[in-house]
Amino acid sequence: MGRFFRLYGRNSVSERLKVNPKSIQHIILDRSQDVRDIEHLCRPKHIPIRYLTDREFEKISRNIRSQGIIAEVEGFAYSEFDGLFNQPKEKLPTLLFLDNLNDPQNFGSILRTAACFGGFAIVLPKHDSVEITEAVLRVASGGESYVPVAQVTNLSLAISEAKDKGYWITGAVVKAGENLTQALLHFPLGIVIGSEAKGIRQGLLKQLDFTFTIPVLGAQLSLNVAIAAAVFCYEARRQRK
């Protein structure tokens, strides 16, 4: 399970209260703020609330934007990779394989995007990769409550296992892929997203069934990895429905 985390802000805390209240140890509230909605969610779940003065709360929040609301929660519970396949084929999640992503801001944004569109799970390598941290959770803004995240020792082997289970694997590339806006995606689907600096590693590129590129009609700049992931998630969700 790992160490304890703090969640900051109304969205992160309220979503955790709705989806996984048992993971919350207690809530810390700034008594000078209007936090009645959080109090209302806590009471039926019997979650302890600690009230602080504005000055006391500032010492704990460390100038992190929190809206007067902090939850102390259990460390993030990663999902088992094999468990992602334990459902009917038509309900299998679209898998986002994040290849050595290192920026917690990008990871948090991808988590939030995947939660908003629904039907996704994320797969991370255990080494040389971002993981769930408080910084990631602040950006995810509650998205971690809705998206399974699995860590694997070898991303290449995980992709091979997904293919053995009937997944089609595609990758997001900056150039030379098929135009994503004209793509016909096949499901169940896995999408490989490369690292911020190097993209998808050569060994993983060889495992892809398709590569797709997002057409850029304006300035010829590469898209931020989190934005590129959001475009792929949108298109996958649009086609899957």
HEC letters along the chain: CCCCEEEECHHHHHHHHHHCHHHEEEEEEECCCCCHHHHHHHHHHCCCEEEECHHHHHHHHCCCCCCCEEEEECCCCCECCHHHHCCCHHHCCEEEEECCCCCHHHHHHHHHHHHHHCCEEEEEECCCCCCCCHHHHHHHCCHHHCCCEEEECCHHHHHHHHHHCCCEEEEECCCCCEEHHHCCCCCCEEEEECECCCECCHHHHCCCCEEEECCCCCCCCCCCHHHHHHHHHHHHHHHHC
Domains and CATH numbers, the chain: 5-73 (3.30.1330.30), 82-240 (3.40.1280.10)
Residue 143 forms beta bridges with which residues?
Answer: none
**pLDDT tens per residue across span 145-156:** 999 999 999 999
Q: Is the pLDDT of residue 63 over 80?
A: yes
Instruction: Specify the pairing of strand 168-172 against strand 189-193.
Output: parallel
What pLDDT is stored for residue 8 in this prediction?
A: 96
Share of residues in the chain with pLDDT > 70 (%): 98
pLDDT band at 196 (very low <50, low <70, confident <90, very high): confident
Q: Is the pLDDT of residue 168 over 90?
A: yes
Average pLDDT over residues 199-221: 88
Which two three-digit tokens encode residue 49? 């609330």
Which two three-digit tokens encode residue 201? 């590693």
Look over the chain and give the mean of its residue pLDDT values, rounded to a whole number. 93
pLDDT band at 220 (very low <50, low <70, confident <90, very high): low
**End-to-end alpha carbon distance in the chain:** 34
Max Cα distance, the chain (Å):
58
Average pLDDT over residues 158-169: 97
Burial category of 219 from C-beta neighbours within 10 Å (exposed 0-12, middle 13-18, buried 19 and up): exposed
Q: Is the pLDDT of residue 175 over 60?
A: yes
State the amino acid at position 9 in one-letter form. Answer: G
Among the residue ranges 70-79, 165-174, 219-228, the one predicted with the least confidence is: 219-228
What pLDDT is stored for residue 1 in this prediction?
A: 44
pLDDT band at 241 (very low <50, low <70, confident <90, very high): confident
Q: What count of residues does the chain have?
A: 241
Spatial separation of the C-alpha atoms in residues 231 and 225, rounded to whole Å: 10
Question: Model's pTM, two decimal places?
Answer: 0.92
**pLDDT tens per residue across span 2-27:** 478 999 999 999 999 999 999 999 99
Which two three-digit tokens encode residue 92? 């299998």
What pLDDT is stored for residue 96 in this prediction?
A: 98
Which two three-digit tokens encode residue 218? 């304006």
Average pLDDT over residues 158-166: 97
Q: Is the pLDDT of residue 107 over 50?
A: yes
What pLDDT is stored for residue 221 in this prediction?
A: 63
Neighbouring residues of 183: CB distance < 8 A, sequence distance ≥ 6:
210, 212, 235
Which two three-digit tokens encode residue 36? 């009645």
